[in-house]
Amino acid sequence: MKESILSHIYDNGLVLVAEPMMSLESAAFTFLVPAGCASDPEGLAGLGSFTCEMTLRGSGSRDSRQFIQDLENLGVERGESVSTSHTSFSGATLAKNLFPALEIFADLIRRPHFPEDQLEAARLVAIQELRAIEDEPGQKVMLELRRRQYPEPWGRSSHGELPALESIGLEDIRDYFAQHYHPNGTILGVAGQIDWQRLKVQVGRMFADWAPRDEAEPATGRSLAKREHLHHESNQTQIAIGFESLPYRHQDYFQAWGAVGVLSGGMSSRLFTEVREKRGLCYTVYATMHTLRDRGSVLCYAGTSAERAQETLDVTLAELVRLAQGIKADELARLKARIKSSLIMQQESSSSRSGSIARDWYHLGQVRTLDEVGALVDALSRDSINAYLAAHPPGDFTIVTLGPNPLEVPVGIS
């Protein structure tokens, strides 16, 4: 049976969007709050993540210990993260525990304590997370790629910068929360075994008196140079490559997505076959679509030995350029089979769907059902993807490397 998407916009601007999945015994929810790292003030990079960490340290009638215990008593699996445009809070539990779990998160989003005696512990967590990137060179090079692929502030890392994290005070956190945690721009996605009418009423009771606040979108600033080498003494080299693509809201997004799916995804994809399997150049290679609301990119990564790094860069760039020549029928068939398997698995996951429908609303102002996504995939053809690639050949590459030696960009590569 085709599931339906239900939505309601409250008077204060809060959006509730839901997908009943009545065959499941679970229910999951995702809050997208308009408090992303693009909104971090000048000189306070990482304030959004710091604020997110502090919200977890007591809210409403609960201190931090009671917050954790109450969620565990309900069997809630929770997660939180900060992206370019949002702070996300999510949870999944048995359907019968959905409303008590939402009550807890209503306190977290609206009534955090921000206890002064927890400030330094939260600061230590933020600093440790930042320093952990130094032990993950693959993550570090991809963060630097995004910083150079997009203009400021759209390529920022949510982890921030050490001097800022060391200087952030409690008033900074309270001011940030007051400015960016508001209902207009917040999206709540719920999926699973739900009673829509009851959900709409209960969410209204929890959030309808939440006062909206006007907020301007961050201004787009300067762009950094598209070539960078980060020196790192190691036997390995990390390679990151980016090029412009389409945002999810664009009418041709699925053509771009299909092309990248041929390039990367599965052991028969071009990058895996040509860079890893045939030549044994690297231990990891992939490409993925990355979308902001108004911008999109393809981001690629290869991890290899320092000795074979130059050849890995050359071959990877050659495969990206070769993509403009078009894809083959058998490649499209494998791509569709892989995507269909992924869609079937989403039908069995309330957590996956709660996040997907919230993000859909943010990007599109509506939600595509899995049936609608399946129809878009079915409509992909070799001709449509090849026409897209002919009009939008990969090029104007952003290239960041991390390792002992800088690499040379091959002649003829822009």
What structural domains does the chain harbor?
A: 6-207 (3.30.830.10), 227-403 (3.30.830.10)
Q: pTM here?
A: 0.94
Q: Please give the radius of gyration of the chain, using alpha carbons only, rounded to the nearest integer.
A: 22
**Percent of the chain having pLDDT more than 70?**
99
Q: Give the mean model confidence (pLDDT) for residues 289-315.
A: 96
pLDDT at 267 over 60: yes
Q: What is the DSSP letter of 212?
A: P
Q: What's the pLDDT score for residue 2?
A: 44
Q: Model confidence over 200-249: pLDDT tens digits?
A: 999 999 999 999 999 888 999 999 999 999 999 999 999 999 999 999 99
pLDDT surpasses 80 at 345? no
C-alpha–C-alpha distance, residues 185 and 183, integer Å: 6
- For the chain, the maximum distance between any two Cα atoms, rounded to a whole number of angstroms, is 64
Q: What is the pLDDT of residue 339?
A: 83
Q: Which of 39, 322, 363 is nearest to 178 (CA)?
A: 39
Average pLDDT of 136-145? 97
Q: Quick one: pLDDT at residue 48?
A: 98
Six token digits for residue 212: 């909206």
Q: What is the mean pLDDT of the chain?
A: 94
Tell me the backbone φ, ψ of residue 87, rounded to 5 degrees.
Answer: -100, 130
Contact 51, 35 (CB under 8 A): yes
Query: What is the distance of C-alpha 296 from the center of its chain?
Result: 12
pLDDT band at 3 (very low <50, low <70, confident <90, very high): low
- pLDDT average, residue stretch 309-331: 94
Q: Which pLDDT belongs to residue 268?
A: 80
Nearby residues of 408 by Cβ (< 8 Å), 6 or more positions away: 310
